[in-house]
Each structure stands twice: as structure tokens, then as C-alpha cells.
Chain A
Amino acid sequence: DAGITQSPRYKITETGRQVTLMCHQTWSHSYMFWYRQDLGHGLRLIYYSAAADITDKGEVPDGYVVSRSKTENFPLTLESATRSQTSVYFCASSEGRGVNEQFFGPGTRLTVL
């Protein structure tokens, strides 16, 4: 089915472990984004990518790593998870340059114990 998917939908991990959240979109959108959503903060941009092999930091990038070797995939890695990274993570995509709406995935709920 066309759209944007995320996996896993739920993840429990321990402090210090490496975790990778996956994001896949079928629209061939050039832009992709990772957000975290926490009570009282709303959605905050972690990283974004304008195209394959082009990534840049958002507002809260510390502790996260991204890569984009293919247009359709944009994985987010927590290299050494901390409790403060417990959150709901959303991936989104949008069409090319310009002011465009974003299309969001269903989210991944991550708990770091």
C-alpha cells in the first residue's frame, strides 16, 4: 500500500542500548523528517533530509543519528539510549522544495528503562 510506514510501532529498551527506528515512504517524496512528541512540548524536529545522502539537524538532534542511502528510507538511530529519549517518534515526508504540507507515519512509541 502507498504511504508512510514506521517500524516497530512499540519498543522497550534499556539505557545504553542502540536502537534503530525505521521509516519507509512510497510516494518518492524528496523530504523526510523525524520528530519526537512529548507532553508539554509538542512535536519537535530531530533531523531532516532533503534528498538521498543529504541530511541536516533540526531543533533537538543530540543523541540521534540518521542516514538516507535510498529516497524511500530514513532510519533514526539512538546510539546509546537514555531515559530522556522515551517518547513517541514520528516520521514524515513532503514533496520537494517549497512550502509543503507533511505526511506523517503512525508513530513509534519508545520506552527506555
Chain B
Amino acid sequence: EDQVTQSPEALRLQEGESSSLNCSYTVSGLRGLFWYRQDPGKGPEFLFTLYSAGEEKEKERLKATLTKKESFLHITAPKPEDSATYLCAVHTRGASTSGTYKYIFGTGTRLKVLA
């Protein structure tokens, strides 16, 4: 069964304290792995797409990496404005139980950065 698991569920950091969020996946054929940021009361906002193992993407204080089993979102010297829930999603080649499009989200990591 295709599955996406994110850890930790919640993370509290001091401003400037770097850390990493994990997204592990077991899917039948990965087409792409996505990272999104979600602020309270809002829809997810796209951050990165990774397509193959070894790929890395960077944006400001965020860096996403991908292996054959997991992805990491590294946050360097975070600021309070980085506080949000970070979601990982995979687009797989497999079909869902009902349709043909399979896009699976993890449950997210709630990040709180303290000033």
C-alpha cells in the first residue's frame, strides 16, 4: 500500500536553530515529490518539486533533498515567520482504488520558531 509518513509531528525551534523535517514514502513508482507550506486557515502553498534520488532544491532558508526512500526539508537559521505546517506529497504511477490519479499527502509537521 502506498504511504507517506512525516516526522516529527511537531517541532519547536529557537530562532537560528537549524533542523530537518522528514518525509518517508513507500509508493509504487514515484513520479514526483512535493513540499508545501500551510499557514493556519489557509490553503497549502507550493515550495518544491523533486523528481529523482539525489536531487536538491533550495529557496531562501529551505533546502529539500530526495533519496529513494525519503525526503528531507532542511531549515537553516529559521526565523519566526517560518512557523507553519509543512506538508509532503507524492505523485505516484499507481492508481487509486477508485480512479487513475494518485497524489498522496502526509499529515504534516507543525513547526514553531520562537524569537
**Which residues of A come within 8 Å of B, CB atoms?**
33, 35, 40-45, 47-48, 56-59, 61, 90, 92, 99-107
Contacts and interface: CB of A to CB of B under 8 A. Distances in A.
A27 to B, nearest CB: 13
B99 A56 contact: yes
Given A42-B87, A61-B98, A99 B43 contact: no
B101 A107 contact: no
B26 interface: no
B98 A107 contact: no
A57 B96 contact: yes
A89 B107 CA distance: 15
B16 interface: no
B46 A101 contact: yes
Contacts of A47: 99
Contacts of B89: 43
Contacts of A40: 107
A24 B17 CA distance: 40
Nearest to A59: B96
B101 A45 contact: yes
B44 A58 contact: no
Interface string B85-114: 001010100001111111101111000000
A90 B43 CA distance: 7
B101 A106 contact: no
